Structure 1
Amino acid sequence: MSSQNQTQVITCPDPDVSHLDRHGYLFGYPIAHSMSPLFHQTVYDHLGLRWSQLLLPSTDISQFLRLLRDSRVFGSSVTMPHKLAIIPHLDDLTPEARAVGAVNTVFRRGDRFVGTNTDTVGVAESFIQNVQNPDSVFGGRPGAVIGGGGAARAAVYALVRLMGCSTVYMINRDASEVEAVVSWCKAQGYGDGLIHVSTASQAEGLEGPGAIVACVPNFPPATESEKEARRVTEVFLGKPHKGAILEMCYHPTPWTEIAAISEKAGWQVIIGTEAVIYQGLEANRYWTGKQTSEMPVAKVKEVIAKELSKAKL
């Protein structure tokens, strides 16, 4: 690939907003198959708002910043590849966004645009809302994160700061990725309890986790390091204490290899759309000023489940 192609900016036509009282965007690329606008429309229709979230499939940050300046814009969801790149262009960040080092939601505070990270809440609420006995399932126990990217940082933050896991096991094929996550989290004040579990034998000697967040694609392990990471996961899943695992990979299907192994081992599997739903509800809390309890949580889950079932056909 030439350097010219690598730096090519993809711009889309400005969406039509003439029929709306207020509007927001989903800014990212590619996003054609995103369920986000459908999700948010369900919320706005329930609240009686003539609002919509519109797709902005673009890599042109200047276009996005220009569109944000419209006084009718309530904010935006931000997805790849912009979660880090947008930060220098914002007026402020919430503590969550600073701690994770990534922004997935932009909201207005007066004339200023503030970035936050609702993925953290999405992860935590997936466990809190779906596990019947949180105290006995994951309370006071170690957590674990499978993966080593930006999603892993949000997962660690959720486990430590929002779910009270003082110890979090990091499971990943690439030691340098884990080192980067640990270094980042320590610098932000929530990484002292992170432990890189690199071998199955090391896992054998550790207390079993109660909550696991899987942040890796659904591919069978091929390299020896990938196979060892899978063995580490299987050791933890096989321990006497059975917890809950959030499988963040849900496209094209949430029924991944890790989900199947976890279910067979007796663990509760929480599909990744739960994290999407709760992070989106948290975003709407910023945008609408309404509390999550005022939003149609059950209806949103029904709509997303129906959409997901279509994808499986």
Structure 2
Amino acid sequence: MKKIFGVIGDPIGHSMSPAMHNDAFERIGMDASYLPFHVTKENLADAVKGMKAIGVQGFNVTIPHKTEIIPLLDEVDPLASVIGAVNTVVREKGRFKGYNTDGLGYVRALRESFPGSIEDQRVLIIGAGGAARGIYYTLASEKVTQMDVANRTVDKAKQLSDACPYPVDGVSLTLEAAAAQLETYDIIIQTTSIGMAPAIDQKPISLDRLKQGAFVSDIIYNPLQTELLKEAEERRAGTQNGIQMFVHQGALAFEKWTGVYPDVKRMEELVLKQLGGNYANR
């Protein structure tokens, strides 16, 4: 009997996940289908009950349900609970358990692209929203202990860092203050929507004081190269866009459902093909 997996969100029409996961199922010879489900906020509880009732084996969760779904699940992984967001649900013995593979996917992507150990680097996180929280807490859980958080609202940045259950040295500061000491950071991680289409000419922070040899990561992939990454490249910094994070979070979800870690390079090629080399609509 064919196994059903999927992704829920609002909107969901442009999700790249079905093509990526259905290809992976085919490659491992598994009789399964991954489908997009358009679920509005008011129908979320009914949707979760319905997916359990019809035997859905697992699903991804995207905007705007990553936080709201938590009380609707039978169990939540400790890291996902700390982050306060779930993006992957697995059916385990008839129960739905929630995980967060966004942060882990980002860290795996960073390790793949950064030339050296990330544990000993001084990191700047730009932004204090859900994505920043997932990345910050996951990096902290993996022994990265020097991280500052820069945000337009410093109080929000401080709330993020203060709630982290793992030991981290760092401060919360404004974007302007971070820009003024940018040469002190080895890795800069941009987690906000600033620079995303259609406002592609914007940057969240000045790179005038960027350290030689620094690494700049932007989780946006719409466009594939933001203005921030263009400038970083011009300054000969290492750069990374959000494609690898997207692919690795998907691969980690696939592994939780099947026990098999898929071919991430093939996943990346499929996503880039869907994007047409220009932009993404997830």
Structure 1 length-normalised TM:
0.80
Q: Give runs of aligned pairs for residues 142-291 of structure 1, distance below 5 A.
A: 142-162=122-142, 164-185=143-164, 189-190=165-166, 192-198=168-174, 200=176, 204=180, 208-219=184-195, 230-231=205-206, 234-235=208-209, 238-240=210-212, 242-251=213-222, 253-290=223-260
CA contact (8 A) 1:23 1:73 kept: yes
Q: Which runs of 5+ in 2 are unaligned?
A: 197-201
Amino acid at match of 2:266: K
CA contact (8 A) 1:214 1:246 kept: yes
Amino acid at match of 2:211: K
Post-superposition Cα deviations, 1:260-310, rounded to whole Å, max 9, x if no partner, equal 1211222211110100100011001110022x2xx2222111111111226
- 1:82 CA drift (Å): 0.6
**Corresponding residue to 2:9 among 4, 20, 28:** 28
- Matches of 1:28 and 1:134 in 2, distance apart? 36
**Corresponding residue to 1:296 among 263, 274, 277:** 263
- Matches of 1:199 and 1:147 in 2, distance apart? 9
Amino acid at match of 2:138: A
The number of residue pairs the alignment matches comes to 273
Post-superposition Cα deviations, 1:132-186, rounded to whole Å, max 9, x if no partner, equal x322xx4411112111100010110232222x3211121222223213312332x
Post-superposition Cα deviations, 1:187-232, rounded to whole Å, max 9, x if no partner, equal xx13642312326556555763232221112349xxxxx98x613x
Name 1:56's counterpart in structure 2.
37
- 1:88 CA drift (Å): 0.5
Q: Identity rate of aligned residues, in percent?
A: 27
CA contact (8 A) 2:150 2:178 kept: no
Amino acid at match of 1:239: K
Runs of 4+ in 1 over 4 A off after TM superposition: 199-207, 310-313
**Tell me, what secondary structure is at the counterpart of 2:233?**
helix
Greater helix share, structure number: 1
- Matches of 1:280 and 1:201 in 2, distance apart? 35
- Matches of 2:108 and 2:54 in 1, distance apart? 32
Name 2:199's counterpart in structure 1.
none
- 1:84 CA drift (Å): 0.7
- Matches of 2:126 and 2:157 in 1, distance apart? 10
CA contact (8 A) 1:21 1:72 kept: no
CA contact (8 A) 2:45 2:72 kept: no
CA contact (8 A) 1:197 1:203 kept: no
- Matches of 1:211 and 1:73 in 2, distance apart? 40
**Tell me, what secondary structure is at the counterpart of 1:108?**
strand
Inter-CA distance 234–77: structure 2 relative to 1 (3 Å threshold): farther
Over the aligned positions, Cα root-mean-square deviation in angstroms equals 2.4
**Tell me, what secondary structure is at the counterpart of 1:69?**
helix
**Tell me, what secondary structure is at the counterpart of 1:73?**
coil
- Matches of 1:243 and 1:139 in 2, distance apart? 15
Amino acid at match of 1:103: V
Name 1:113's counterpart in structure 2.
96
Amino acid at match of 1:104: N
- Matches of 1:82 and 1:274 in 2, distance apart? 22
Structure 2 length-normalised TM:
0.88
CA contact (8 A) 2:186 2:211 kept: no
Q: Give runs of aligned pairs for residues 46-85 of structure 1, distance below 5 A.
A: 46-59=27-40, 60-70=43-53, 72-85=55-68
**Corresponding residue to 1:128 among 111, 114, 117:** 111
